[in-house]
Amino acid sequence: MKPEGNPWRLSVAPMMEWTDRHCRHFHRLITRHARLYTEMVTTGALLHGDVARHLDYSAEEHPLALQLGGSEPADLAACARLAERWGYDEVNLNCGCPSERVQRGAFGACLMAEPGLVADCLRAMRDATALPVTVKHRIGIDRGEDYGFVRDFVGTLAERGGCEVFIVHARNAWLQGLSPKENREVPPLRYATVYRLKADFPRLTIVLNGGVAGDEAIEAHLQHVDGVMIGRDAYHHPWTLADWDRRFFGDASPPRTRAEVEAAMVEYMARQPDLPWNRVSRHMLGLWNGVPGARRWRQVWSDHRLYGEAPAAVQRRAREPLPVG
């Protein structure tokens, strides 16, 4: 849809407990251009907690977006200012998380029932920062499948909130009876609804998310929308990111090999002696998927008996059955 210079053409989704700074560092070693997102950070955590712990990152992670969870315009505005001060490239409002804990905080997917409030939040954030302010949401809540619901939600946020970029998870959020994991699997995917949003709002940037796996699927969706956001497939099968720069961003420079990515991660672990290396290594366990010897490699990097060894020593143990490149 939009040209390859579109910043939202391809991205890795914000995922709780997964896309921390170590995961993002790993992904950035594989793709130079895909947009990366933090885990959702609540406004309360930033305004009343350890700001550096939540916002610190490495410079090489750019382009990088901060995802916020909250529903108070003034609090979100304050956090948007923090995002700009810390050098993020985007601030994103979560209107898609269906967990009961998030609902108790009156934010996440339940905000789709209050488009006027969300528009006020977005306007406050836009007034507070020059960064792009975006929203990530579902195509509906509970079992309602009325297209008019999500169409009016997007229209209100665009008209009253000034939002221009919408990342749309192509499933409903069932607010009762499903766990967050089930909410990523049970409600049916309805990609045509996201396509229809793009057709109805051609001036907006519409990014599709939800259940997408593989470059062919990405290319097919890009015929209908401006961008694609990949979640679990990027995490569990990270080497799928290796051809993104060439295929989707026109970058002909050669990517790192798997061995080079692993070596860079080991160096990264060594630079942080106070951080247990398993906090980092857990994110790269899918690196050698599909290669003979990958299972033993994963077992070595997951072996709690080796946690006292230096990362380089663990790497030597793990590399024995693997090819050089």
Residues taking part in catalysis: 97
Tell me the longest C-alpha to C-alpha distance in the chain.
59
- Torsion-angle region of 108 (φ positive above 0: left; ψ -120 to 50: alpha; else: beta): left
| β-pairing verdict for 36-37 and 64-69 | parallel
Rounded distance between C-alpha atoms, residue 110 and residue 112, angstroms: 5
Which residues is 35 bridged to in the sheet? 11
147 exposed, middle or buried (CB, 10 Å; 0-12, 13-18, 19+)?
middle
Tokens of 52: 């550096």
DSSP 140: E
SS3 string, 26-65, reads: HHHHHCCCCEEECCCEEHHHHHHCCHHHHHCCCHHHCCEE
At residue 90, the 3 state secondary structure works out as strand
4: helix, strand or coil: coil
Rounded to the nearest 5°, which phi and psi values hold at 207?
-115, 130
